[in-house]
């Protein structure tokens, strides 16, 4: 019996498992096991729309067990705590499993770059729960600001800083601006239209690095027109309760700081005695194998392909291409055929800029505005896994044209990590 174990039920891991299941699922001498700490695939491109209450959280996740072919592979919801490469076993929170072939596809994490206070006082923005916490925290701030008599406190409560001017930060700030303009200002009588303040802070010289400069400039102009303050060459040096400190000594009083800056290797992989890149991601060869361990493959955000930066970009199409290739190479290996080398380069970039606006670069074509927004929506709807989720998201978008967004807080404020910390220290208006 050959046991093939895939770690991580994200885009790379699930794609690998889907191909393996199709090619090997009927073979009695092969056992397929997927291990992931979440029992669903999260469709990250729509996370900003969860944070802005446009789309329901459940509508952007697909349970692993509902995925076609799932009955022909085993799924175990468990957390990987270590990988014993020499002993060919994976240590889990609830036991261990041995493997003959292993695919490591546990994704990445957002680095804090050692900036003090990020882990305690900035909200993360990576998982579904993060998006729900961002949404609830923001609505809680608005609820407080609505009856706050002191204009300076109100101003602080209504100031949101997103740190990181990549596509993730840009899409998030644009969605939050929509939420303020289309929902908060018309419904909260205590809040004036000019009071909410949204800032995008980027340490580099430009936002949207990797996007064509003309499109990045268009995006920047669009954000500015919407009243969003875009600050480039701006390095955050510390996050305090309700304050962001910048290099040069300036400080911004902010009710909410969201950290959306960069990608770094998964901490689980840091201890493995194999080469890593400068971001802490595992180095794999062109066949996506770990040097020195030909039975171990890596895929998705967790890895970087040696000598091929274009194949190592942390985006969904790259994760899917990796997932497919590792599965095909495992099948080839088991049938004695030669392995294939990764051949992937991003074919474009799509960045949503909120309601009715986007910038798109695809196969050499560049466009922006409403047509780009329609293209962004259509493409992401098609890419959502499963007809049910596609219908649910399409309905959410359609209903938002007729009905207001839903501002019901889903978690009590006390369960918000930031509120709990500031309250414990007796700091801030929200702690009272």
Ligand X SMILES: Cc1cc2nc3c(=O)[nH]c(=O)nc-3n(C[C@H](O)[C@H](O)[C@H](O)COP(=O)(O)OP(=O)(O)OC[C@H]3O[C@@H](n4cnc5c(N)ncnc54)[C@H](O)[C@@H]3O)c2cc1C
Contact residues for ligand X, defined by CB under 6 A:
8-13, 35-38, 44-45, 47, 79-80, 105-107, 125-126, 168, 266, 268, 300-302, 314-317, 319
Q: Which residues of 408-425 are buried (b: 16+ CB within 10 A; e: fewer)?
A: ebeeebeebbbbeebbee
Residues ≥6 apart with Cβ < 8 Å to 7: 13, 35, 36, 80, 83, 90, 102, 103, 104, 105, 106
The single-letter DSSP state of residue 276 is B
Pick the closest to residue 80 from 61, 103, 106 (CA basis).
106
Question: How far is the first Cα of the chain from the last one, in angstroms, to the nearest whole number?
Answer: 62
Q: How far is the CB of 50 from ligand X (least distance, A)?
A: 10
Closest to ligand X by CB, 117 or 265: 265
Specify which residues 366 forms β-bridges with: 361
C-alpha span between 98 and 428 (Å, rounded): 50
Q: How far is the CB of 123 from ligand X (least distance, A)?
A: 12
Q: What are phi and psi of 184, to 5 degrees?
A: -65, -55
When CB distances to ligand X are compared, the closest residue is 10
Contact 230, 207 (CB under 8 A): yes
Closest to ligand X by CB, 19 or 413: 19
Contact 12, 300 (CB under 8 A): yes
- Other CB atoms within a 10 A radius of the CB of residue 229 amount to 16
Q: How far is the CB of 147 from ligand X (least distance, A)?
A: 32
Q: How far is the CB of 379 from ligand X (least distance, A)?
A: 10
Closest to ligand X by CB, 79 or 366: 79
Q: How far is the CB of 13 from ligand X (least distance, A)?
A: 5
Closest to ligand X by CB, 106 or 198: 106
Q: How far is the CB of 218 from ligand X (least distance, A)?
A: 18
Q: How far is the CB of 34 from ligand X (least distance, A)?
A: 10
Closest to ligand X by CB, 255 or 314: 314
Closest to ligand X by CB, 126 or 389: 126
Closest to ligand X by CB, 80 or 228: 80
Q: Which residues of 275-306 are buried (b: 16+ CB within 10 A; e: fewer)?
A: eebeebbbbbbbbbbbeebeebbbbbbbbbbe
């Amino acid at each position: 019996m050959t046991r093939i174990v895939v770690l991580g039920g994200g885009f790379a891991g699930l794609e690998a498992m889907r191909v393996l299941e199709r090619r090997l699922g009927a073979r009695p001498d092969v056992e397929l096991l997927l291990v992931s700490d979440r029992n669903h695939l999260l469709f990250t491109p729509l996370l900003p729309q969860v944070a802005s209450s446009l789309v329901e959280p459940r509508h952007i996740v697909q349970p692993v067990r509902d995925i076609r072919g799932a009955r022909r592979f085993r799924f175990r919801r468990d957390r990987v705590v270590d990988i014993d490469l020499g002993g060919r076993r994976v240590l889990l929170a609830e036991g261990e499993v041995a493997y003959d072939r292993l695919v490591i596809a546990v994704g990445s994490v957002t680095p804090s770059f050692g900036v003090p206070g990020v882990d305690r006082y900035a909200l993360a923005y990576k998982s579904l729960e993060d998006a729900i916490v961002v949404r609830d925290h923001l609505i809680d701030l608005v609820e407080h600001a609505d009856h706050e008599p002191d204009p300076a406190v109100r101003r602080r409560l209504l100031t949101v800083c997103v740190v990181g001017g990549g596509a993730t930060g840009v899409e998030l700030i644009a969605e939050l601006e929509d939420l303020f303009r289309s929902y908060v200002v018309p419904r909260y009588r205590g809040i004036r239209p000019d009071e909410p303040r949204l800032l995008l802070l980027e340490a580099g010289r430009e936002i949207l690095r990797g996007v064509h400069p003309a499109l990045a400039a268009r995006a920047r102009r669009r954000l500015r027109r919407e009243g969003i303050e875009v600050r480039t060459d701006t390095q955050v040096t510390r996050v305090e309760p309700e304050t962001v400190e910048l290099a040069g000594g300036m400080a911004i009083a902010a009710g909410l700081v969201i950290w959306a800056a960069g990608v770094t290797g998964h901490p689980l992989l840091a201890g493995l005695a194999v080469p890593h890149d400068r971001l802490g991601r595992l180095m794999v060869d062109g066949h996506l194998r770990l040097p020195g361990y030909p039975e171990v493959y890596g895929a998705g955000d967790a890895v970087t392909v040696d000598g091929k930066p274009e194949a190592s970009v942390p985006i969904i199409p790259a994760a899917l291409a990796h997932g497919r290739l590792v599965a095909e190479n495992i099948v080839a290996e088991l049938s004695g055929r030669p392995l294939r080398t990764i051949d992937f380069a991003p074919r474009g970039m799509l960045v949503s800029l909120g309601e009715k606006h986007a910038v798109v670069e695809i196969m050499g074509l560049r466009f922006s505005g409403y047509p780009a927004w329609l293209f962004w929506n259509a493409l992401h709807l098609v890419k959502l896994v499963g007809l049910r989720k596609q219908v649910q998201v399409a309905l959410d978008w359609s209903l938002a044209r007729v009905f207001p967004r839903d501002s019901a807080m889903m978690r009590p404020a006390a369960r918000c990590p930031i509120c709990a910390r500031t309250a414990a220290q007796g700091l801030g208006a929200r702690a009272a």
